[in-house]
Amino acid sequence: MIVADTDTFLWWSDERHLLSQTAYDALLSADRIVISVITGWEIGILVAKRRLTFDTDPLTWIRGTLERMHIEVVPLPLDVAVRSTELQQLRDPGDQMIVATALHLGAPLVTKDDLIRRANVVETIW
C-alpha cells in the first residue's frame, strides 16, 4: 500500500508526465493506492479558489476518478487528526494530516513536496 498526496492523485489521474519516473513506477506497481479524505478537502478548496477546474463538480470528479483508478479513500481518525498537530515542521495543515495518515497506515507517501520530503518524518517516494 502507498499513500498519494493531493498533487500525486491529480497527476496520476490525468497528467502522469508530471510524475517522476520513481513515483510513476511505485504507483504502477502498488497493490493498493490510497488517499486521505483530506485530499478531497484540498481539491474542494482549489476549485473554490479557481486554481483548479473540472468539467463537473469536484465531488463527482473525485468519485469518478477514485472508481476509474481503483484508488481508496481512508478516513481521518481522531488520533490521526490530533497527531497531525505535532508535525510542526510542516506548515500546511493539509500536509500535516496527509503525512499523519501515512504514518498511521505505516505506508510510504508519494509526494513531490520538498518540505515533506526534507522533514523526514515519513517514508516518501519521488
Domain chopping of the chain, boundaries: 2-125
Q: Which of the 8 DSSP states describes residue 16? A: G
Distance separating alpha carbons of residues 46 and 6, to the nearest angstrom: 11
Domain with residues 2-125, CATH architecture: 3-Layer(aba) Sandwich (3.40)
Whether the pTM exceeds 0.85: the reply is: yes
Distance separating alpha carbons of residues 44 and 80, to the nearest angstrom: 21
Give per-residue pLDDT as tens, 46-64: 999 999 999 999 999 999 9
C-alpha cell recorded at residue 8: 500525486
Instruction: Give the chain's end-to-end CA distance (angstroms, integer).
Output: 15
Share of the chain above pLDDT 70, in %: 100
Q: Average pLDDT of 107-122?
A: 97
Q: Average pLDDT of 82-91?
A: 94
